[in-house]
Structure 1
Amino acid sequence: MVERFVEENVVADAFDGRRRAIFPQSGAAPGDRLWEPRCMAQAPLWRAIAVYRIAALIYATILIVRNFGHYERPMPAWAVLALMAAWTITTTYAYAYPGRRRPLLLIADQLITMAALASSIGIVGRRALEQGTPTLAVAWHVTPVLAWAVYGGRRGGIAAAVAMGATDLVVRAHYDQAAFTGSVLMLLAAIAVGYLVRVVESSHRRLQRAIELEASTRERERLARDIHDSVLQVLALVRRRGAGLDGEAGELARLAGEQEAALRNLVAHASVAADQAGEADLMALLQPRASAEVSVAGPADPVRLPERTARELAAAVAAALDNVTRHCASGTKAYVLVELEPGAVTVTVRDEGDGIPADRLEQAAAQGRLGVAQSIRGRIADLGGRVHFTSAPGDGAEVEMVVPIS
């Protein structure tokens, strides 16, 4: 119960508090969308897109003013420029909030930009475009491609770049190297930004995980101090005072000693959490079960398994050890052995008790006692493994759990 409290409640509260301490300016609750890792990681990229869009608008304005006299229909150019400026302001505010970054907004951004680009045919004129006069949306039309790359990764960026590049080629109406260069550069930019997004999100997840582990470690250290100053000292006192007594008093002293050892082991070990690959060390999960009566042995190196597999195996071992405590005499020795083989991991739990009578497991399952049927066999079966019980009267019992791993 103490371990469950530490792992599920205290550590989570500590992480939320640590996160608020690092990002106090947001005022968001842990469950808000602002705290979603993807949104937090992408925020600087969206700000960079806004800066690029404004800079590109300024550049387009300079070119329009410079080439105004060479346009076939110069006056509508101001209307297009006004539309580009208004849309720049709109998207700058819209993309600033994660909740507004929706496909509908990005599609509108793409279509409006393509329309501004296509208007160059009637305003600049086909002849001027063929002679190399820039389009009205020069450089500004790349912005939706970058937005799609941030939102949808490389695939979204490539799709937007192909559509925008095709529009640009149709508007220019000449297919030489100069015309293709702009489209190719836009495509490469989409690929690069899409890859950058993946790197940024991965780095942010690692940072978030580091913050969580730091908060978990600090909270565990605080709990260790509190437990040592209170609970552990009381349990140690009960164990010492009742060590020489008989009957129920002696039994309570023995149980207090066991709980003292378990608590010391718990507060001495850091929280076992999955790494970036989603794996956990099985030996680290089993080691807290070691005590004066329980011996845990395994490979010297960490036994890294998928997190669910490692935790389910550890829970099955805990159920087997609980059966030893419940059904065997006080002080019965138990041994846990972990063997890592190619394609499988084998965990064996053996005790020096009186053994399991024949058909006892089947009778217990028929009576509705699901300790072995669900806590051990059910867990291992869900992992695609198998369980084998070996026992003889007076010779203890052995549970072998084999789970395949990729």
Structure 2
Amino acid sequence: MSVEQPLWRALAGYRVLTLCYAGVGFAWSYGEFAHPVPGTVYLAALLVWTSLTLGQVSSAERCTRWFLAADLSFALVGILLTPYVDAHGQVGPTLPSIWTAAPVLAFAIKGGWRWGGASALLVGAANVAESGALTRATLHNALLVCVASVAIGYVVEVARASERTLARALQIEAATRERERLARDIHDSVLQVLAMVQRRGTAIGGEAAELGRMAGEQEVALRTLVSSGVVPQPREPREARPAQQPREEPQEAESGTSSDLRSLLAVHAGPGVSFAEPGRPVLLPPHAAGELAAAVSAALDNVRTHTCDEKGEPARAWILLEDDGDEVVVTVRDDGPGIPAGRLDEAAREGRLGVALSIRGRLGELGGSAALETVRGQGTEVEMRVPRDG
């Protein structure tokens, strides 16, 4: 709903209430008017007009300029007709009374403070013409209407600008989240393959070394693109899955709309990776389970990539899965050399966003967190927490 919609509803109510007030005031002083019949005809016409146009003041689109001009004309005619109806000049307010502020406020809500101020000046001039002189009371009433219309018009302009800014911010946020998701997918697939080709090609030598060099160049270019501000067109989200290298997808054990995280993590167990799990299923929504499993895969890729010894063998890794009730905790630990101080910041500047995007980015979208602890010569531990209601 637009931020100005409550103002239109309030204006519709104001028109009805002030019409009733004008009718009661006219009936109360009916016997004091010199020519009450024209006044009765005018108020009847004003009643019909207000009743038929309540739908026009429901939004800025329906409140057209032609309607605003006709609405203001009704107010001006009623003001200028008052001297003839009240020939003695003793009754007091004009025939439309405070209903005259309704078209002025409509101008302000529709076109801002400039439209509101201009229409208020017209109403003020008509009041001066009706009284025959610029009296203190006339000036007071004109100033009140003018100040109210300018203030409301300014508030509407600020509200519309804020609404546009908020809509733009939401679009940017959605595009940024899509870019980060795409960057995670690229990091978990293409970049890992290019890095592997570069390492293997360099180790083999010969023509393979040239292939590895080209793969390294493409990896650097792609990392630069991912870490830049290039924002793709948003598309429909899909279920994320932990994709590192082509392998057979594990069979998910589902319970209703939940997935057993144990089956997703068990595929990592092998000669160099130990997996410890609870004795009962650890259930999470499929998307959350897939994102958490992908974060674990990214952590293991970091172990395979950055902890290799002289023989090319990576450090040993352990995966510990815990179910704490309100949250699920997965810990990935290795016995490698650890991460040098400042290396993560340096990697982020180089476009190597494995920890920032594939791990912390995924968990952040799930309402979770990732804590990294490393000790030189003793290995690294990544603790990932995901709330069940995230």
Give TM-score scaled by structure 2 length. 0.53
- How many Å apart are 1:162 and its aligned residue? 1.0
Instruction: Look up the match of 1:103.
Output: 65
Q: Kindly name which structure, 1 or 2, has the bigger radius of gyration based on alpha carbons.
A: 2
CA gap 1:175/1:127 in 2 versus in 1, 3 angstroms: farther
Aligned-partner SS, 2:191:
helix
Assess if the C-alpha contact under 8 Å between 2:82 and 2:130 holds in 1.
yes
Instruction: Look up the match of 1:238.
Output: 197
Q: How does 1:298-337 map to 2 (within 5 A)?
A: none
Aligned-partner SS, 1:61:
helix
Q: For 2:174, give the aligned amino acid.
A: A
Q: Deviation per CA, 1:338-381: give whole Å up to 9, x if none.
A: xxxxxxxxxxxxxxxxxxxxxxxxxxxxxxxxxxxxxxxxxxxx
Deviates more, 1:230-239 or 1:153-162: 230-239
User: Which of residues 36, 53, 56 is equivalent to 2:18?
Assistant: 56
Q: Deviation per CA, 1:103-161: give whole Å up to 9, x if none.
A: 222222211221122222332x2323xx3521111110111211222233222222111
Assess if the C-alpha contact under 8 Å between 2:112 and 2:154 holds in 1.
yes
CA gap 1:239/1:54 in 2 versus in 1, 3 angstroms: farther
CA gap 1:243/1:55 in 2 versus in 1, 3 angstroms: farther
User: Which of residues 66, 72, 88 is equivalent to 1:127?
Assistant: 88
Give TM-score scaled by structure 1 length. 0.52
Assess if the C-alpha contact under 8 Å between 2:198 and 2:213 holds in 1.
yes
CA gap 1:238/1:170 in 2 versus in 1, 3 angstroms: same
User: Which of residues 113, 126, 129 is equivalent to 2:75?
Assistant: 113
Aligned residues: 237
Aligned-partner SS, 1:127:
coil
Q: Deviation per CA, 1:321-352: give whole Å up to 9, x if none.
A: xxxxxxxxxxxxxxxxxxxxxxxxxxxxxxxx
CA root-mean-square deviation:
3.1
CA gap 1:239/1:92 in 2 versus in 1, 3 angstroms: farther
Question: Does the alignment pair 1:138 with 2:100?
Answer: no
- How many Å apart are 1:76 and its aligned residue? 3.5
CA gap 1:204/1:244 in 2 versus in 1, 3 angstroms: same
Q: Which runs of 5+ in 2 are unaligned?
A: 232-346, 352-390
Q: Deviation per CA, 1:258-312: give whole Å up to 9, x if none.
A: 333344455456668xxxxxxxxxxxxxxx99759xxxxxxxxxxxxxxxxxxxx
User: Which of residues 134, 138, 145 is equivalent to 1:186?
Assistant: 145
Aligned-partner SS, 1:101:
coil
User: Which of residues 24, 29, 36 is equivalent to 1:74?
Assistant: 36
Assess if the C-alpha contact under 8 Å between 2:78 and 2:94 holds in 1.
no
Instruction: Look up the match of 2:156.
Output: 197
Distance 1:201 1:66 in 2: 42
CA gap 1:221/1:89 in 2 versus in 1, 3 angstroms: farther
Q: For 2:115, give the aligned amino acid.
A: G
Distance 1:211 1:256 in 2: 37
Q: For 2:192, give the aligned amino acid.
A: Q
- How many Å apart are 1:185 and its aligned residue? 1.0
CA gap 1:244/1:164 in 2 versus in 1, 3 angstroms: same
Q: How does 1:200-211 map to 2 (within 5 A)?
A: 200-211=159-170
Identity of aligned residues (%): 41
Q: For 1:120, give the aligned amino acid.
A: T
Aligned-partner SS, 1:199:
helix
CA gap 1:151/1:98 in 2 versus in 1, 3 angstroms: closer
CA gap 1:192/1:248 in 2 versus in 1, 3 angstroms: farther
More helix as a share of residues: 1
